[in-house]
Amino acid sequence: MVKNKRVMRLKIAEFDLSLLPAEARTPGRAAFREAASQFLRKQFRQLGGVIETLVFGPDTIEVTWTPERGSSNGEAPDPLAPIAAMLTRGELREGVTLLRFLLSDEPDNPDVLYNLGMVLSDLGQIDEAVVRLRRLVVVAPDHVNGLVALGVALTRQNANEQALPILQRAAALNPDNVWAQRNLGGCLLKLRRPAEAVEPLRKATALDPQDARAWYGLGQVLELTGDDIGADAAYKRMLAIDEFGETAKLAEEALSQLAARAFRKNAVGLPRMDAVMYCLSALKTFEKMTPAEVRNVEFEIAMLGTRGLDVNDPAPKYTLRSLPGQFSGLNLVALMYVAAQQRAPGLDVGFDLAQEYAMALGFYGRQTTEE
């Protein structure tokens, strides 16, 4: 039952001074007390109640707060609901302040510990987040989301060995918790145990097929375990879900590396003559174009490549606005490579055709001389 009157305290050292005007950030001064008083009264009003007394001591701020009674049963509403809404709006530092006040009155409240630990972790205050979340799993050992949050906070400390059994327990308690499965897989990946990470990451993608981060993690572990075909599919699925997300660029680079690796494997260490001929064709095409036109071709192919080019399929299935005709994936990569080398010799475009380009230049030079 929620208490009708609560006396709560916050250490002044824990008060986020950035929440106050610059001129009021010196504790002990009248400007600080006035600004902090206005701020706290406003914040506590959002919880559905009023501050009866607010006392500034040498080291603490003490608040006596009375919530409004609910209309249906006369009980006071739970203040955690408006705090959760506050956190959803992105008011994290304000939410931390109120959660710390609540915790002083109910130090073993699992919901307060969980929310405070989560937001502290997201704010980068990892050490305190770990303290709060460790307390949570003591008072509520089967709190699955709390276990996962603690595991995540520990991985953010690079304490992956400590995080692993905690995440394993969370996944065992609730195998259908996608957050537990994804973070367990991520922890195993950080511990360089990719083979063991495959199963939880597969479970995570099955539980939530729209979880882009789980698909990216699955791509990583499949690549590390030698399943390049599976990794390629996972990276492409991730990009289909979140083409412009925080890991999209990494997935694009991984796809390029997979394609290049398959390309070289098929070449058995020798120059690929099909790529040589594509490079030679590009040299001849570009000799009739201005540098700006060549740059447009390079840029268009680079943009198309963010969605993946199948360089190992000889079928001409791609088209460009900047050039007529249809092109295979390898043809496009050769065009982009030649354009980049003409603009900046030696430039790394993420796909190495140096051998093929050098041979094509030799052919091109001889043909030019003969003409």
Q: What are phi and psi of 177, to 5 degrees?
A: -85, 105
Q: What pLDDT score does 369 carry?
A: 54
- Mean pLDDT, residues 204-224: 96
Whole-model pTM: value is: 0.76
Query: Domain residue spans in the chain?
Result: 273-370
- Mean pLDDT, residues 121-137: 96
Residue from 304, 288, 286 nearest 340 by CA: 286
Q: Quick check: 48 pLDDT over 90?
A: no
Q: Which long-range contacts (CB under 8 A, 24 or more apart) does 345-348 make?
A: none
- Mean pLDDT, residues 305-310: 75
* DSSP for residue 17: G
Kind and range of the H or E run holding 125 = none
Q: Quick check: 139 pLDDT over 90?
A: yes
Count of CA atoms in the C-beta half-sphere (13 A) of 201: 26
Secondary structure (3-state) at 346: coil
% of the chain exceeding 70 in pLDDT: 94
Residue from 210, 211, 214, 209 nearest 197 by CA: 214
The residues, any chain, with a CB within 8 Å of residue 39's CB and separated by 6 or more, are: 19, 20
Q: What are phi and psi of 9, to 5 degrees?
A: -135, 150
Q: What pLDDT score does 1 carry?
A: 43
